[in-house]
Amino acid sequence: MLTLVGEDRPGIVAGVTDALFRGGWNLGEASMIRLGGNFSVMMMVRGTGDVTEALRPAAQSMGLHMHVDEISGDLHQHMVPNIQVRVSGADRAGIVAQVTGALAEAGFNILELESDVAGSRERPVYIMNIQGVTETTLERVEQALDALGDVDVSVSSIETLIG
């Protein structure tokens, strides 16, 4: 698992993937996104040798911090989310911790979490979208989040269409 973070600029993805390609590394699942003014890359790569060496010149020239973890991950281990939770409320400390804490207690496994701050500078609104899997019912997840008072929470089931 490869993690790269640095100030956003054009050409990061191209530079990183080109260096990996030249070093003979295969790319697997990846998530790359701009957060604030930074660009973050997380991806699974497979190959032999030292991936840090292969990437060092590119990472240095683009000012990217790099981190490598050896993992036993493999292809075809996807989990399909069955519940979606949307949260919005006045931006205040602790929203994420409270929501995710309640979800964890309800046995809800988060697969993906996205959040953003919308609204004006004076009245920021925190918006969060969580997708995950749980064996318990939608009602049980709703109950777990009921106590959170000042934030709007909507829980819906995700029915994945196969056709």
Partner 1 sequence: MAVLEILRIPDERLKRPSEPVEHFDDALRAFIADLEETRRHGPGAVGIAAPQVGCFQRIVIVDVSNTRKPVPNHGHMVLVNPEIVHWEGYEMGREGCLSVPDYTGNVIRATHIRLKARDPHGAALEYTMEGFEARALQHEIDHLDGTLFIDRVVSRRTDLFRRKVYQKGGAKD
Which residues of this protein are in contact with partner 1, per CB under 8 A? 33, 75-76, 78, 80-82, 114, 116, 118, 127, 129, 131, 157-163
Q: Is the CB of 36 or the CB of 163 nearer to partner 1?
A: 163
CA distances to 98, 101, 109, 118, 133 from 159, rounded to whole Å, are 26, 25, 17, 28, 12
Among partner 1, Zn ion, none, the one that 98 touches (CB under a kind-dependent 5 to 8 A) is none
Among Zn ion, partner 1, none, the one that 80 touches (CB under a kind-dependent 5 to 8 A) is: partner 1
Q: Which does 71 bind (CB under 5 to 8 A by kind): Zn ion, partner 1, none?
A: none
* Nearer to partner 1 among residue 19 and residue 83 (C-beta): 83
Residue number, 3 or 129, with CB nearest to partner 1: 129
Q: Identify the sign of the CA torsion 11, 16, 17, 20.
A: positive
The beta strands (E) that lie in 26-120 are given as 26-35, 38-46, 65-68, 83-90, 109-119
Query: Quick one: which of 133, 112, 129, 127 has its CA closest to 31?
Result: 112
- Does 163 help bind Zn ion (rule: CB under 5 A)? yes
